[in-house]
Amino acid sequence: MINVEDVPGLKRDLQMVNMHMEHLCRSNNRYIQEMLNWVLRQRGKQIRPILTLLCARLKGRAADATEIAAVVELCHTASLIHDDVIDEADTRRGQLSVQKKFGKEMAIYAGDYIIFSAIQKNELRNRSRYGRVFGKLEAMFDGEINQFVYRYNTEITEEIYLENIRGKTSALFCIACEAGACAGKCDENEMLAVEQFAEKFGLMFQLRDDLLDFVSTEELSKKTIHNDFWCGYYTLPVIHAFSDADNGARLKEIAGNIKNGLQDEDTDKRITELIRGSNGFQYTLTEIDRYASEAKRSLAVFPGSAARKKLLNLVDSLQASAHGTV
Amino acid sequence: MINVEDVPGLKRDLQMVNMHMEHLCRSNNRYIQEMLNWVLRQRGKQIRPILTLLCARLKGRAADATEIAAVVELCHTASLIHDDVIDEADTRRGQLSVQKKFGKEMAIYAGDYIIFSAIQKNELRNRSRYGRVFGKLEAMFDGEINQFVYRYNTEITEEIYLENIRGKTSALFCIACEAGACAGKCDENEMLAVEQFAEKFGLMFQLRDDLLDFVSTEELSKKTIHNDFWCGYYTLPVIHAFSDADNGARLKEIAGNIKNGLQDEDTDKRITELIRGSNGFQYTLTEIDRYASEAKRSLAVFPGSAARKKLLNLVDSLQASAHGTV
């Protein structure tokens, strides 16, 4: 189609584009990285990066367009990954499509990750004052994907679970809070305090959410409840109950039955009883209280602040509403 | 949870956040806009924007964090929309989830659109030299969603089809080419020429792709072929054939059967024969030639450029390979 050797420097530039793409597609999460490697293994014809590089040469002197060419190619790649989910396509660039190899759910995450990562790592980090803040989007995907990977796994530990929600939920609370603190001209030390606050706040918020999924009503929570367990997401009340010798074994049996499509009318009631019997709700409340205290303590560096008082109130009210349900 | 009236200016700031969110969630595409309206109708507790706004006040003087709060909340919203696809959740914030109301496919697009739009409209447009270039991502979604909306619709016209691929395919070629031209310091006039080139190039590229889906082999094209028609995407060769009195009626009948799950072994062969019988491939080739000429003509403003010569070669080789198959 086009011989890259023909244009001085084009081959080297294309190699640079590929290096940038690899750099933009790096993750510490091994499931994400496995998908990214699969995607990068087959590069296709790379007609878009070639066009970018040629258009950067139209005025004679070649300008460095390798980074932006990589970003554009990754946007294209992400869009193909989602298209293949929608069209249920099995093959792409001469190999299995991401949705066929890793499943539709993972393919949705993979596409999202690439979009966020490409735009954020390249553009935001380099040029925007909020670049640092958005860096945490990676941790968000990390948590979401790990949560999905541990779906229906009754051996999930409390540690792994906390690590997952630290990503899935706390990361975005960190972004929200640090973005505000950044706008409000907090110094490095104060930013760290805000980050600490947001992390603990996120943990407390998620544990409360997990609790409400069992003990609230649809009307109150305005979303489908009793859903986590049925979808195979085992949250703290459940994980604590799993560790109970007697109740835990019976709860794991129910989990297995649900996974295999066996269930009866009373299942929801029995799940709640088994968790209650092993103190799963009470244990979760204790953890909520602990993270609430830690969150509040982090804000000590803003002694006279009226906004701090409101943040403390917010923590208190979430904490109280959790206690009100059990 | 938190009374926004309690903190001076907080209510007004939150209204600003909502205004920014509405502004970031605007689209000329009515299907996208319908989904965005649905999403914005129920705002949830808005705990993340409240946190952002409070953290922006920790140092006393309230800083303007309303725009960034809107971006963070939209990232959160997009992630919820995709989560609901993955978990097949029916309810969200007290109303039907996007995936339940508009279908999983549209929900994938809606999430992507919000991510792209939030990051690009806010951050990129304001602060990066490539901001203008990425503005075309909106047109890409426009084309993708319209293509999906017209799936299985045998009344699709050539005009609508061209408009869809102008979005779906040309928009990203425009981004790729303009990003290069922007790096290469092209002036306003030259940028327009590059945009023209990229648009025509994209149309030619997509029409060639549409042709190859019927006349190429899996081995050559490295992806699932004969796929478009079966998925209900009617491309130019088909649309031209549809307009043929006799062959068109028979082709529409096959389209209807495929949609209803009825098919036999010979279907692929019959589709190809009917398109050939109504000159669908030949007509597509003529259009490829026309857009190829227009693309080449656009680059006349770079007379002595070696890169221009390569771009012309690229157009020629794509054109020739299309002719080689029919």
Q: What is the pLDDT of residues A21-67, one digit of tens each?
A: 998 888 878 888 999 999 999 888 899 999 999 999 998 877 888 98
Question: What CA–CA distance (Å, rounded) separates A37 from A232?
Answer: 28
pLDDT in single tens digits along all 326 residues of chain B: 778 888 888 999 999 999 999 988 888 788 889 999 999 998 888 999 999 999 999 988 778 889 888 988 998 899 889 989 988 888 888 899 999 999 999 999 899 888 888 877 765 555 556 666 777 777 888 888 899 899 999 999 999 999 999 998 999 899 889 988 988 889 999 999 999 999 999 999 999 999 999 988 766 666 667 788 998 999 999 999 999 989 999 999 999 999 888 877 788 889 999 999 999 999 999 999 999 999 999 999 999 899 999 999 999 999 999 998 77
Question: What CA–CA distance (Å, rounded) separates A62 from A54?
Answer: 8
Cβ–Cβ contacts within 10 Å for residue B245, how many? 7
B14 touching A (Cβ < 8 Å): no
What lies within 8 Å, CB to CB, of A241 at 6+ separation is A247, A248, A251, A274, A275, A277, A278, A280
- CA–CA min distance B212, chain A (Å): 14
Q: Which of B65, B86, B130 shows the shortest C-beta gap to A180?
A: B65
A119 touching B (Cβ < 8 Å): yes
Interface test with B, best of A66, A68, A81, A149 (most B CBs within 10 A): A68
Residue of chain A nearest B179, judged by CA positions: A52
B217 touching A (Cβ < 8 Å): no
Tell how far CA A65 is from the center of its chain. 30
Whether A124 has a pLDDT exceeding 60, the answer reads no
Query: Are residues A105 and B115, on separate chains, in Cβ contact within 8 Å?
Result: no
Query: Are residues A58 and B184, on separate chains, in Cβ contact within 8 Å?
Result: yes
- CA–CA min distance B268, chain A (Å): 17
Contacts of B137 in chain A (CB under 8 A): 75
Residues in chain A: 326
Residue of chain B nearest A198, judged by CA positions: B51
Contacts of B205 in chain A (CB under 8 A): 47
The answer to whether the CB of A130 falls within 8 A of the CB of A172 is no
Query: Are residues A55 and B306, on separate chains, in Cβ contact within 8 Å?
Result: no
Indicate the helix (H) or strand (E) that contains A81.
helix A66-87
- Structure token digits, residue B294: 């227009």
Residue of chain A nearest B124, judged by CA positions: A123
Query: Are residues B59 and A184, on separate chains, in Cβ contact within 8 Å?
Result: yes
DSSP 3-state of B96? strand
Tell how far CA B147 is from the center of its chain. 9
Q: Is the ipTM reported for this complex over the cut 0.90?
A: no
A6 touching B (Cβ < 8 Å): yes
Cβ–Cβ contacts within 10 Å for residue B269, how many? 9
Contacts of A223 in chain B (CB under 8 A): 89, 91-94
Contacts A–B by Cβ distance under 8 A = 296
- Structure token digits, residue A82: 């989602």
Enumerate residues 161 to 200 of chain A having a beta carbon within 8 A of any beta carbon in chain B.
172-173, 175-186, 190, 194, 198
- CA–CA min distance B245, chain A (Å): 30
Rg for chain B, CA atoms, rounded? 24
Q: What is the DSSP string of B217-281?
A: -HHHHSS--S-HHHHT---HHHHHHHTSHHHHHHHHHHHHHHHTT---TTHHHHHHHHHHHTTHH
Query: Are residues A63 and B185, on separate chains, in Cβ contact within 8 Å?
Result: yes
- Structure token digits, residue A309: 């008082």
The answer to whether the CB of B305 falls within 8 A of the CB of A59 is yes
Q: Which of A44, A172, A231 shows the shortest C-beta gap to B76?
A: A172
Question: What CA–CA distance (Å, rounded) separates A199 from A203?
Answer: 6
